[in-house]
Amino acid sequence: NRRITLAARPEGLPEPRHFGLDTQPVPEPAEGQVLLQTLYLSIDPYMRNLMDPIGPGYASPVEIGAPMVGGTVSRVVASRNAQFRTGDLVLANAGWQDYALSDGSDLLALGDAAQPSQSLGGLGMPGFTAYVGLLDIGQPKPGETVVVAAATGAVGAIVGQIAKLKGARVVGIASGADKCRHAVEELGFDACLDRRAPDLAARLAAACPQGIDVYFENVGGEVFDTVLPLLNLHARVPVCGFIAHYNDSAPAPGPDRLPRLTATLLQKRVRMQGFIILDHYGERFDTFRREMAGWIAQGQVRLREDMVDGLENAPQALRRVLQGQNFGKTVVRVAE
């Protein structure tokens, strides 16, 4: 059983030396357990947060020497649990390793899903995050302007496509011309701006002539600074993430911008609300999966995966996400 472990806690961007690779005997399932083989491993930004000594609050940090955690699509290869049979495909939390045990309580049977890795992306946690954050907090109305950054990523691509289905005008922000072209031509966004090209603030103002009603916050940093003055009266800001800061080891120098934020929230009556998707699982996840499967089947939502081969390449895949080098939902193919 190959495992990728946390070898040391990074300051800044994780380097190869922060990860270890070891091999252990494949574990044996006890009564009530199943043995899972990892087929696909999801790579997500929160994994960086779990490498820090103090966790983000919603999950414990990974211990030094322990395997990195992560969502997986796994195959049951031995079962001592009456609910699962050998060969079943399941959505699981097996982490960065070839094999893992589960008592079944955290597994979702995937049946004979044609593209099971989609259950790590648009049909899984990131898609559910987009759905809950946009619909519950963002509440886009027809004709309103929705802005989302990391626009071609796992969450952002779904945010923009659901917002279009709800009749909103959608402006994406992403890095590079290829991603921006994809957002407009494949995902149906009305516009998409390259965050690395000059004059983002002026270009965003031009792309949002009616201001911004919903800003789905994925990134923080400079993008948030450019969005803030464009927020409309009664704008909604679902706070999903702030990846631009996940590698920060100290507060950035510079002027205190908190009063400007507070003044905007007050004067524009903005509602800015954080959410953690773990709070929303249960029946709602089934409803989401049905609705999203329908949208995908009808071609109303398109999914793009950034597939990386080999468990040993998972650390590099996480580095790519943290640097904006992924193009679509990042998934590691661990086994066929």
Per-residue binding string, ligand NDP, 120-139, x by CB under 6 A, is ------x--x----------
Least Å from the CB of residue 47 to ligand NDP: 9
# residues near ligand NDP by CB under 6 A: 30
Given 68, 146, 321, 334, the residue binding ligand NDP (CB under 6 A): 321
SS3 per residue for the chain:
CEEEEECCCCCCCCCHHHEEEEECCCCCCCCCCEEEEEEEEECCCHHHHCCCCCCCCCCCCCCCCCECCCCEEEEEEEECCCCCCCCCEEEECCCCECEEEECCCCCEECCCCCCHHHHHCCCCHHHHHHHHHHHHHHCCCCCCEEEEECCCCCCHHHHHHHHHHCCCEEEEEECCHHHHHHHHHCCCCCEEEECCCCCHHHHHHHHCCCCEEEEEECCCHHHHHHHHHHEEEEEEEEECCCHHHCCCCCCCCCCCCHHHHHHHHHHCCCEEEECCHHHHCCHHHHHHHHHHHHHHHCCCCCCCEEEEECHHHHHHHHHHHHCCCCCCEEEEECCC
Establish if 155 lies at the interface with ligand NDP (CB under 6 A): yes
Given 14, 20, 29, 45, the residue binding ligand NDP (CB under 6 A): 45
Given 10, 32, 56, 221, the residue binding ligand NDP (CB under 6 A): 221
Establish if 163 lies at the interface with ligand NDP (CB under 6 A): no
Cβ proximity to ligand NDP: between 85 and 196 the closer is 196
Given 68, 324, 331, 333, the residue binding ligand NDP (CB under 6 A): 324
Establish if 216 lies at the interface with ligand NDP (CB under 6 A): no
The residue ranges that bind ligand NDP (CB under 6 A) are 44-46, 126, 129, 149-150, 152-156, 174-175, 179, 195, 218-219, 221, 223, 240-241, 243-244, 275-277, 321, 324, 326
